Amino acid sequence: MVISGYVLHLPEEESVVLSGPAARRLIDGGNGDAALLYIAVLRSRGCIDNEQLLRQLGWPEDRFRRGLAALAGLGLWRDAGAVRRSRRAERRFLPREERREEYEKMYGVYTGLYQRLEPIFTQLQT
């Protein structure tokens, strides 16, 4: 039997799909921080910035950069140059309260779209 991917699932949260090849690279790389960082990015569906990841993981910036470097070395992050270029956002854009209803409507459209495309995203990760 060949397993092409792994599903990490807790009853109280949505599943996170980790492809077989990515799992193999993470295991072979032997870097726990890289694995945790990769899972955190997958959990956010890739829609997270460095600052949010740092906050979510509770890591200092140097540990975060080492994790990115390890992922780049494993071929699971864009490239080593992107690690050097990655930095905290200089500006923050906060939603305007008077547009909350519109944001919530569009978020519903986005999540529905993502759910329909999720099988394609899974294929792209393998």
- Using CA atoms, how far apart are residues 6 and 110, in angstroms rounded to an integer? 25
Burial class (CB in 10 A: 0-12, 13-18, 19+), 77: buried
The structure tokens 């270029």 sit at: 85
- 30-38 average pLDDT score: 91
Decide which of 43 and 59 is more confident: 59
- 13-35 average pLDDT score: 85
pTM of the model: 0.55
Would you state the pLDDT for residue 33? 92
Determine contact, residues 64/54, Cβ cutoff 8 Å.
yes
Kindly tell me if the per-residue pLDDT of 58 is higher than 60.
yes
Residues 70-93: tens digit of each pLDDT: 888 888 877 555 555 555 556 777
Kindly tell me if the per-residue pLDDT of 118 is higher than 50.
yes
Would you state the pLDDT for residue 35? 92
